[in-house]
Amino acid sequence: MTGIESIRRVPTGISGFDQIALGGLPAGRCALVAGTTGSGKTLFAVEFLARGVQNFDAPGVFVAFEEPPADIRHNVASLGFPITEWEAAGKWTFVDASADIADEAPTIGTYDLGALVARIVHAVRRSGARRVALDSLGEVFSRFSDTGSVRHEMFRIVSALEPLGVTTVLTAERPEEYDGVSRFGVEEFVLDNVIILRNVLRHERRRRTVEIVKFRGAAHRTGEWLFTIGPQEGIVVMPLAFLRPRAQVSTDRVSLGNAVLDRMCGGGVFRDAIALLTGPTGTGKTLTSVFFAAAAVEAGERCLLYTFDETREQLGRTAAGWGIDLDAMEATGLLHVVSEFPEAASPEEHFLRIRRTIDEFAPARVIIDTLSALERIVTSRALLDFVIALGAVLRHGEITTLLTSAPTGRVTPTVTPAIAMEVASLTDVTILLRYAESQGEIQRGIAVLQSRGSDHDHSIRRFTIDSAGMHIGEPMRGPSDVLGSAYGPGGDLPSPVSPGGEGRQQQDRWGPPDPGQSSDD
């Protein structure tokens, strides 16, 4: 086997999958896609062919064992692909091996799948196909009594296809999640490339993941990756497009809508920045969001404001309290406010909706208030994937973004929300809002924890909120003066320190920004 680098890849075109596969499926090989019922195997096979025709002008052959071609045709069309035209043009060919009269036939003596192999080879040659999908094998192999013959027939199919130079996806059923690869337990020994799709019920939510179990001789990313299935998008592997390198970074600055905050961040944030604003309820997250939106409109830029916390009416009333007229801003066409209940959809569906809205509205700025509302419906890991995926879309569009998040308790500022700690490493600017106790009264403090690529103000500043918005004042000085002794002494970078030992661990992860971070990405 030659070096890892030399294995040519065939991009599937499936959103995000090629990123985990580091380019795509190994060219000219067969890959097994195994999953339980409803895990998306057929969709994977369908998309592999359809995106091949559409994106790469690669004709495909679909071998239908389980669902008859009419059903598959319907699925392909529902994703918006012109399957009828493709069939007429010879770009898509069905080999119909679905259960029918052939199933009724009694079997006497030994046999093999020679006719099937011949039909597939014929279809590939006639159409000049470069991709083949077989869905799914269990249907046919359940007729074979022993694994020896299953293995032999698998080998036969694979060895007939590989000399043709086609890249093949075979799907197979798995009886249950996390136990063996496939129903017959033999496919993984026959095939060099194995992908598992999972569909697990966890915390009363469906969770779909894709894992590349092996790519013999080819590098790939390991572990389970969250994906979702959109009615129009098909399979979308969530966080991965994030890994796409950015061709260029912006040096253009954007105002956050507050002159002092802009100064604290080093003169506004970069146009392609993702800023995370974190603080407990009532510290001014929505306020900052609304002012950021107003600054966008004032600059003549389109702004999408997504709220998971309030209805559109509530938000309008809140903004009016600070003298901002959201209705008037929306009337200019520059602002688009979307209010959704977190529970109305899964995080993956929310992601797809946001992405669709971004595609349609083409905003220069996006605000999401708050991510924490999504925490109600999802594990933090899934939420992190959501943010990473979102980050990919936002960075790609060079959209200035403000995300907000809250710790769970109103007066427990020492506990930095778990999500914020993880998300902070993905964002460019991190701003902290806190309640602070000073001179016998509760005050609010604001600090910029990091601002990549910029010098930023290291002090914690006092601020007040009134009907004209946020007023940031002088740095807080003196001994620890934040409820629960959240901040370290002096004007140094605040670190969340809780009374227990766990706070110390958090501090390490959260810590002051690593000097290396300012120049990366």
Kindly determine how many residues on this chain lie close enough to bind other proteins according to the rule CB under 8 A. 26
Q: Minimum CB separation from other proteins for residue 41, in Å?
A: 20
Instruction: Compute the half-sphere exposure of residue 387: CA atoms within 13 Å on the CB side of its CA.
Output: 33
Nearer to other proteins, 119 or 353 (CB): 119
Q: How far is the CB of 177 from other proteins (least distance, A)?
A: 30
Least Cβ distance, residue 105 to other proteins (angstroms): 4
Decide whether 108 or 468 has the Cβ nearer to other proteins: 108
Q: How far is 115 from 215, CA to CA, in rounded Å?
A: 29
Buried b (16+ CB within 10 A) or exposed e, 40-52: bbbbbbbbbbbbb
Nearer Cβ to other proteins (116/371): 116
Count of other CB atoms within 10 angstroms of residue 454 = 18
How many beta carbons lie within 10 A of that of residue 361, not counting itself? 15
Comparing CB distances to other proteins, the nearer of 112 and 252 is: 112
Distances (CA, A) of 247 to 362, 394, 395, 398: 20, 14, 11, 11
Q: How far apart are CA 191 and CA 171, in angstroms?
A: 12
Check residue 425 and report its DSSP letter: T
- What are 71's strand-pairing partners? none
3 state DSSP class of 201: strand
Complex with other proteins: residue 98 or 451, whichever CB lies closer: 98
Contact 210, 224 (CB under 8 A): yes
- Distance between CA atoms of residues 292 and 106, nearest Å: 72
Q: Nearer Cβ to other proteins, position 109 or 163?
A: 109
Least Å distance, CB 109 to other proteins, is 4
Q: Among residues 68 and 475, whose Cβ is nearest to other proteins?
A: 68
Nearer to other proteins, 120 or 371 (CB): 120
CA distance 394 to 401: 7
| Residue bearing tokens 């120049």 | 519
Least Cβ distance, residue 97 to other proteins (angstroms): 5
Question: Minimal distance in Å, beta carbon 123 to other proteins?
Answer: 8
Site for other proteins in 83-142 (CB under 8 A): 95-97, 100-102, 104-119, 121-123, 140
The distance of closest approach from Cβ of residue 159 to other proteins in the complex, given in angstroms and rounded to an integer, is 14
Q: In what order do the strands lie in the sheet with 30-35?
A: 92-96, 60-64, 131-135, 167-173, 30-35, 193-202, 205-215, 224-230, 234-237
**Pattern of binders to other proteins over 330-369, x per CB under 8 A?**
----------------------------------------
Is the torsion defined by CA of 167, 27, 18, 199 positive or negative?
Answer: positive
Within positions 401 to 420, which residues make up the interface with other proteins, using CB under 8 A?
Answer: none
Pairing of strands 429-438, 274-278: parallel
* Nearer Cβ to other proteins (149/209): 149
Dist CA 488 CA 470 (whole Å): 24
Shortest Å distance, C-beta 62 to other proteins:
14
- Closest contact distance (angstroms) between CB of 71 and other proteins is 16
Query: DSSP secondary structure string, 378-408?
Result: S-HHHHHHHHHHHHHHHHHTT-EEEEEE--S
Which residue lies nearer to other proteins by CB, 121 or 335? 121
CA–CA dist 132, 255 (Å, integer): 52
- For residue 474, the tally of other CB atoms under 10 A from its CB is 9
CB 190, min distance to other proteins, A: 19
If the CB atoms of residues 114 and 231 are measured against other proteins, the closer one turns out to be 114
What 3-state DSSP class applies to 230? strand
163 near other proteins, judged by CB under 8 A? no
Tell the smallest beta-carbon distance from residue 394 to other proteins (Å). 49
Give the tokens for residue 5. 């680098």
**Contacting positions for other proteins (CB under 8 A):** 95-97, 100-102, 104-119, 121-123, 140
